[in-house]
Copies of this chain bind each other. A is one copy, B any other.
Amino acid sequence: MTHEPVDIAAKLSAFSEHWSPKVVARLNDYEVKVVKVQGEFVWHTHDETDELFLVIEGELTIQLRDGNVVLRAGQLFVVPRGVEHCPVADGEVHAVLIEPAGVVNTGDAGGALTAAYDDSLL
């Protein structure tokens, strides 16, 4: 039997839209997602969970109310549960998100940037 690895860059090359995370792997009740982002997202909070951001390409700033964190390729940051945050990127950023299944990208904020659940790349 052949087992196939998940190639992060290949998954990212399969789509172009921004702010639309796509599940590429499951880890127990967690999901690994890939996402492309550019511009400013929306301030929001996940009250029930931490959220891991890992940048694959580009430079992502995660704005927090008490300061920013800047992530470049190979760098990760975990936004703690309950901490309001707002990602922003001047150029396009390719990133990986890891969080429990069912987390909505806009958290408590909702709105137009709320992405539909997408596991079409799984």
Q: A81 to B26, alpha carbons, bound, how many Å?
A: 12
Number of chain A interface residues as a range: 35 or more
Q: A109 to B2, alpha carbons, bound, how many Å?
A: 25
Q: A30 to B27, alpha carbons, bound, how many Å?
A: 11
Binding site secondary structure of chain A = strand
Number of copies: 2
Which of A28, A66, A68 has the most chain B CB atoms inside 10 A of its CB? A28
**In the complex, A42 has a CB within 8 A of chain B:** no
With a CB–CB cut-off of 8 A, which chain B residues contact A28? Answer: 49-50, 81, 100
Say yes or no: A70 contacts B5, CB within 8 Å. Answer: yes
Q: A69 to B1, alpha carbons, bound, how many Å?
A: 10
